[in-house]
Amino acid sequence: MIDFKIKIGKMLWKNPVTVASGTFGLEFGELFDISQLGAIVTKTVTLHPKQGNAPPRIAETEAGLLNSIGLQNPGIENFIKTDLHEYRIIDTNLIVSISADSISQFGEVIQELERQSGIDGYEINVSCPNVESEGIIFGTDNKTVFKLVSMIKKTTERTVIVKLTPNLTSIENIARVAENAGADAISLINTVYGMAIDIETRKPKIKNVIAGYSGIGIKPIALQNVFRVAKVVKIPIIGMGGIRNTNDALEFIIAGATAVAVGTQNFVNPLSTLDIIQGLKKYLDEKKVQYKDLINSVNF
């Protein structure tokens, strides 16, 4: 029997596979039993409803996908009234992804969610490339991240995961800051800045011009970020960025990720998370290796 259980903060996961925020929803429950996932990460919710960015919001490029959704969501109040009821009865860990324009607004969102049962953790999205707060992405500033994570840790007993952007000169610094502020885990990477142009019209293919790039094209970028961060923090890493199959997932685990998340691939094959869970089991069985010994096991 393969032992797959992992601990992320206070959460016990039955397997190390989850989904990247924004690429998954309750709709997938019509296609498979989503309680089979180690955890479910919701689409990011914000204090007030967000209409999202003007379309076109997505464009496929040579080796990946550009998106600029702009965190379209119904706001925390509607989320609690609708989706949360369905999510909380699913028999796996529920991680609510949250974003806000300011530290105090993050606090308000958390306070609302603290009154609700059935939530196991929060993913603090300080890294969306498509919404900006006062001109900068939250997650690129060490002091802001420290203040924010410290505040959230004081407000909740639940597991706090900080999602980092790769659009930085040193991801190690910000990861260490998040750990020092008390983060229970780190998830990385959010999308990479990207752009595409239609040469006939000379218009950007995404209305918002600069977008977030995801999919197989960013896998090497994501992998080296996981590898670097794993060297400098002790808290677990949820690795993501271009994972399509078991082999991709294994690379992230070997590079230092305790868990992996599937994003863009959910749009290609909505059952790919299940394939990866099975594939990892098979790999561990065939290689006669313990899962915990596989994490952060790069041979030089």
Residues designated as active site: 128
Which residue in the set 2, 12, 63, 298 belongs to the binding site for another protein (CB under 8 A)? 63
Residues 7, 14, 25, 112: which binds another protein (CB under 8 A)?
A: 25
CA-wise closest residue to 234 among 278, 185, 162: 185
**Residue ranges in 73-132 that form contacts with another protein under rule CB under 8 A:** none
Is 264 an interacting residue with respect to another protein (CB under 8 A)? Answer: yes
Indicate whether 269 belongs to the interface with another protein (CB under 8 A): yes
Q: Are 35 and 87 in contact (CB under 8 A)?
A: no
Does 200 bind another protein (CB under 8 A)? Our answer is: no
Angle at 68 between CA 258 and CA 18, to 5 degrees: 20
Instruction: Kindly tell me which of 65 and 177 has the beta carbon lying closer to another protein.
Output: 65
Let me know: does 160 contact 168? Beta carbons within 8 Å.
Answer: no
Q: Which amino acid is at 134?
A: E
Which listed residue (48, 52, 193, 281) binds another protein by CB under 8 A? 52
Cα 120 to chain center, whole Å? Answer: 15
Q: Token pair for residue 36?
A: 């089979």
> How would you classify residue 183: left for phi > 0, otherwise alpha for psi between -120 and 50, otherwise beta?
beta
Site map (CB under 8 A) of another protein, residues 212-251, x = contact? ---xx-----------------------------------
CA 162/CA 81 separation, integer angstroms: 25
Minimum separation from the CB atom of position 236 to another protein (A) = 26
Question: Applying CB under 8 A, which part among 28-36, 147-155, 160-168, 174-182 lies near another protein?
Answer: 28-36
**By the rule CB under 8 A, 158 interacts with another protein:** no
What is the distance between the alpha carbons of residues 133 and 113, in angstroms, rounded to a whole number? 22
Does the footprint of another protein cover residue 57 (CB under 8 A)?
A: yes
Q: Give whichever of 216 and 294 is closer to another protein, judged by the CB atom.
A: 216
User: Of 3, 19, 183, nearest to 90 (Cα)?
Assistant: 19
CB-nearer residue toward another protein: 216 or 254: 216
Minimum distance from CB of 159 to another protein (Å)? Answer: 23
Nearest CA to 43 out of 27, 64, 65 is that of 27
Per CB under 8 A, 197 contacts another protein: no
Least Å from the CB of residue 216 to another protein: 7
Return phi, psi of residue 73, to 5°.
Answer: -160, 160
Binder among 39, 40, 41, 69 for another protein (CB under 8 A)? 69
Q: Does 271 bind another protein (CB under 8 A)?
A: yes
- Write the CB contacts of 186 (distance below 8 Å, at least 6 apart in sequence): 161, 162, 163, 164, 175, 178, 179, 229, 233, 235, 236, 237, 238
Shortest Å distance, C-beta 253 to another protein: 23
Distances (CA, A) of 50 to 18, 47, 101: 25, 9, 12
The distance of closest approach from Cβ of residue 256 to another protein in the complex, given in angstroms and rounded to an integer, is 26
* Least distance CB 29 / another protein (angstroms): 10
* Residues that bind another protein in the complex, under the rule CB under 8 A: 22-25, 27-28, 30-31, 43, 51-52, 55-60, 62-65, 67, 69, 72, 215-216, 264, 266-271
